[in-house]
Structure 1
Amino acid sequence: MEDQNEDIFSNQYYLYNTTNGLLKKLVQPKKIGTGITGVFVPELKDGSQLFLYAKDLDSTQHKLAIEMFRAIGDAK
């Protein structure tokens, strides 16, 4: 799902993904270099939440961060 229930005029894209039963909300800027790149997991298996983010990443940093955030939950 993409941009579900998010402001169309926001400076970020919001992408939703599920990996091994974990719902993840990925956030990335519409313009690389300006904005937040992050991941929010509302409920981990132990019931806690996870939120990781960085601001104003260059394109190399952004690509690496998104790859890492997408991998969350891949290990069993």
Structure 2
Amino acid sequence: MKSSGKKLKVGTVLDEQIYQQLKERAVKEGRTISAVVSAALLAYYTTPVIDFKARREAVRRFCSTPFKLTREELEEIMELDFYDQ
């Protein structure tokens, strides 16, 4: 997203630890706190919204018959190396 050049001053309340981490990150990167926050908000804004309803439905379908697996079977499948097959 291209910056319009116009800036707005906003106020917010942050947890003290989050603010400390924000300041440290800005110093490490040689940027202002405003620049770090703007980049974080832009990244958040451009990330697709997670459809939790669809995700829950996928889990329900995966865990239902005929795919009802025991925990041990699922762990065994997850440990298989795809490229060794």
The TM-score with structure 2 as length reference comes to: 0.25
Give the structure with the higher percent helix.
Answer: 2
Structure with more of its chain in strand, by fraction: 1
Greater RCO, CA 8 A, separation 6+: 1
Q: So what's the TM-score if we normalise by structure 1? A: 0.27
Larger radius of gyration between Structure 1 and Structure 2:
2
